[in-house]
Amino acid sequence: RKEVEQDPGPFNVPEGATVAFNCTYSNSASQSFFWYRQDCRKEPKLLMSVYSSGNEDGRFTAQLNRASQYISLLIRDSKLSDSATYLCVVTHTGGGNKLTFGTGTQLKVEL
Amino acid sequence: GAVVSQHPSWVICKSGTSVKIECRSLDFQATTMFWYRQFPKQSLMLMATSNEGSKATYEQGVEKDKFLINHASLTLSTLTVTSAHPEDSSFYICSVTPNVNYNEQFFGPGTRLTVL
């Protein structure tokens, strides 16, 4: 079983739609959680950290459920420019800041 | 965020040759750099942690004699793929962090290696 699992998609949604991605992680010692965005053939870029209380950044909302070992990302009012692959990333205690990446969920926002 | 450069951006080489990839931290000194590899439609996989002034730490399954890492200064780490073969064709990405306890990593633009 992969340490970080995501539905690869693709998710095809119309512009303006609300879309949610889920991610599960298997290591209960996981400590820090992030969503990264990766455009085709580019490096990943940090979208937002995920906190236990949940956090919001503009149109993006991230949630963490430690009991279920589950992370989510909600995108409201999707834009064409949101089309990318969204990577769920975790670190764990004793990992020395090593990032473990999920395979990513591909989002395509269409007119 | 930090600025990280990688050179070259892409390289095509013949099987059996060695390829060196450079990763530079342009606006802070990085005691720790990470090297990742990403195959098509797969996740980034950590290959090794590069520590300035000491030997790199390799992840399980990564051959240290094939992927040579040198972190000779606080702003430069190099990854050399020795005797490259077609199965080494991949997207190699480095990241830097100010120190091992700092959460965020800053990624370079990546190097696409194609071995013929």
Please tell me what DSSP assigns to residue B116: -
pLDDT value of residue A48: 93
The pLDDT of residue A92: 75
Asked if A106 contacts B110 with a C-beta cutoff of 8 angstroms, the reply is no
CB–CB contact A4 B34 (8 Å): no
**pLDDT tens track for B18-73:** 999 999 999 888 888 999 999 988 889 999 998 888 889 999 999 999 999 998 88
Check B110 against A42: CB less than 8 A apart.
yes
Provide CB contacts within 8 A for B31, sequence distance 6+: B51, B52, B74, B98, B99, B100
Q: Are B30 and A75 in contact (CB under 8 A)?
A: no
When CB atoms are compared, the residue of B43, B45, B100 closest to A104 is B43
Lowest mean pLDDT among A5-19, A23-37, B37-51, B93-107: B93-107
- What proportion of chain B, given as a percentage, has pLDDT over 90? 71
Instruction: Tell me which chain B residues have a C-beta less than 8 angstroms from the C-beta of A45.
Output: 107
Average pLDDT estimate for A33-53: 92
